[in-house]
Amino acid sequence: MTATMERIVVVGNGIAGLTACDTLRDRGFTGDLVVVGSEECAAYSRPALSKALLKPDADLTAHELPASGHGARELLGRSATGLDADRRVVVLDDGEELSYDGLVIASGSRARRLSEHPRELTLRDLADAHAVRDALAGAPDVVVLGGGVLGMEVASGAVAAGCRTTLVATSEPMSRQLGAHVSGLLTASARVQGLEIVVVDGAVVEERDGCPVVVSDTGRVFAADVLISAVGDQPNIEWLAESGLLTDGVLSVDAHGRVRDDIVAAGDVAHWGGLPRLALWTNAIEQAKVAASALLDPDAPELAFQHYFWTEQFGHSVKAVGDLPVYGAPEVISGEAGGTPAVLRWTHPDGSRTAIAIDQRIPIPKLRRLTAPGADGNG
C-alpha cells in the first residue's frame, strides 16, 4: 500500500463508489475514507428501478442494498463542482474544499434529455422511478422514446400497468444491444401483449400546446398523456472541466482504471482502456474493484472481465455473457432457436463466444463456461 494514502475521497455513491469503498477496506486501507454522493439516500440497485419497481405489484424495497460496512464518512446530498488535481482538492457545491491523498472518480452518469420540458420524463435515479411509477397510475396513454434496454423495460412496465403504449425507436428495439435474433423474439412478444412499435429514421421532442410530443423526421407527431424518454445517458464530468484530466471531452483510464497514480475512475463516467463507455451494472462493480486496488497497489492486476448483461421485459428474462450484439443464426444449446425457453450461443469471427439464456434458469458461472474455447453444450 502507498504510504502517503491517509485520506481517500470517493466522488459518487452509486454501485461503483460503494464497491470501491468496500474494496479499499478489504485491501487493508484503514485511513480516512470520505464519500460524496449527490443523492441523499444510501446506494441502491439501479437496475431494479426499471424492472421490479415498475411492476404493478412491485416490492417497493426491491432496489435496496444491504447497509454498507465500509465505515466511510458520507457526505450525501452533496456534489463535487471542481477538482484541482495539482493541489489534490475536490471542491464541493457549497465551496468546501476536500483534500485527498487518493481519489476515486465514480460520479456516474445522468439521463440524456431531448428537451427542457418538465413533463418529458426520464428514468435514471430513484426519484425518477417514483415519478414514472406515479405517472403510470390510472393507465394513461404513454409514448416511450427509445428502443434500447431501458426503453423496452419502461414500455413493459407501462403495458403491465394497463397503459396503451407506443414505443418510438430508430431501429428495431433491442437489435443494437442484442442483435436481430433475440430482438425479434422480444419484440414479437411485446407486440402480442399490446405494445405498438414504430421505427423511424429520427425523432425529436418538441412542445405542442404546452405538452411535450415526439416528432419524427417525416413530421409524424406522437402525443400521449405521458412521455418517457430513454435515449441514453451522459457522463457526469462537468466538474472535471478545468482539472486537466479530460481528453477530447472524455475521461479516459487505462486497464487498471488509473487516470494518474493518485486518481482512478470506475463506472459509467469513464472510458476504459480506450474503449467506448459501456454502462452496465456488472461492469461498474468489476471496474471499481480493479480501480480501488490500483490506487493502493501499483502492481495490482488489470481488468479481465467478460461482460454480463441481463434484462426483464414483457414476461421474459434474458441473460447474456460475452460481446454484444450477436449476428446470424445461433447454435442451440437447449430449447429451440425460434422460441423460449432456450439457451443459445454465437461464435464470433475472432473465435470468442457469446451465450444467451432466455427464460431459462441457469447459473451465470455455467453460462460463462459455455463461452469458453472448446466448451460443448453441457457447459
Please give the distance of CA 148 from its chain centroid, rounded to a whole number: 12
Distance in angstroms (rounded) separating the CA atoms of residues 326 and 208: 40
For the ranges 145-149, 276-280, 305-309, the one whose mean pLDDT is highest: 145-149
CB-CB contact of 257 with 237 (8 Å): no
- For every residue of 77-110, DSSP letters joined together read T--EEEEETTTTEEEETTS-EEE-SEEEE---EE
Question: How much is the pLDDT for 379?
Answer: 58
CATH top class, domain 113-229? alpha beta
pLDDT > 90: what percent of the chain?
84
| Integer-rounded Cα radius of gyration of the chain | 22
Question: Cα(274)–Cα(270) distance, rounded to whole angstroms?
Answer: 10
User: For 313-351, what is each residue's pLDDT tens digit?
Assistant: 999 999 999 999 999 999 999 998 888 999 999 999 999
Residue type, 101: D
How many Å from the N-terminal Cα to the C-terminal Cα in the chain?
Answer: 39
What is the model's pLDDT at position 1?
46
The Cα-based distances of 111 to 153, 196, 313 in angstroms read 15, 24, 20
67-79 per-position pLDDT tens digit: 888 999 999 999 9
Mean pLDDT rounded to a whole number for the chain = 94
Rounded CA-CA distance 239/135 in Å is 32
pLDDT at 311: 95
List the one residue out of 204, 125, 184, 190 whose CA is nearest residue 155: 190
- The 10s digit of each residue's pLDDT in 95-125 is 999 999 999 999 999 999 999 999 999 999 9
Cis peptide leading into 66, omega within 30 of 0? Answer: no
Pairing of strands 165-169, 342-347: unpaired
- Cα separation, 90 vs 82, in Å, equals 6
Query: How far is 144 from 167, CA to CA, in rounded Å?
Result: 5
Closest CA to 358 of 192, 188, 167, 193: 188
Position 142, amino acid: V
Report the candidate in 169, 160, 168, 162 with the shortest Cα–Cα distance to residue 189.
160
State mean pLDDT over 212-217. Answer: 97
Helices (H), 297-346: none
Are 7-110+233-296 and 113-229 the same fold in CATH? Answer: yes
Boundaries of every domain in the chain: 7-110+233-296, 113-229, 315-369
The CATH superfamily holding the domain 7-110+233-296 is FAD/NAD(P)-binding domain (3.50.50.60)
Measuring CA to CA, which residue among 171, 173, 196, 197 is closest to residue 185?
173
Q: Once rounded to an integer, what is the mean pLDDT over residues 130-138?
A: 94
Residue 373 pLDDT grade (very low, low, confident, very high; cuts 50, 70, 90): confident
294: number of Cβ within 10 Å? 23
172 alpha-carbon distance from chain centroid: 20
Task: State the Cα–Cα distance between residues 168 and 203, nearest whole angstrom.
Answer: 8
Of 119, 174, 176, 183, nearest in space to 149 by CA? 174
What percent of the chain is predicted at pLDDT more than 70? 98
Q: Alpha helices, DSSP H only, in the chain? A: 15-26, 47-50, 126-136, 149-160, 175-178, 180-192, 281-296, 364-369
Instruction: Name every residue whose Cβ is closer than 8 Å to that of residue 21 and which is 6 or more positions away in sequence.
Output: 10, 33, 35, 68, 70, 72, 292
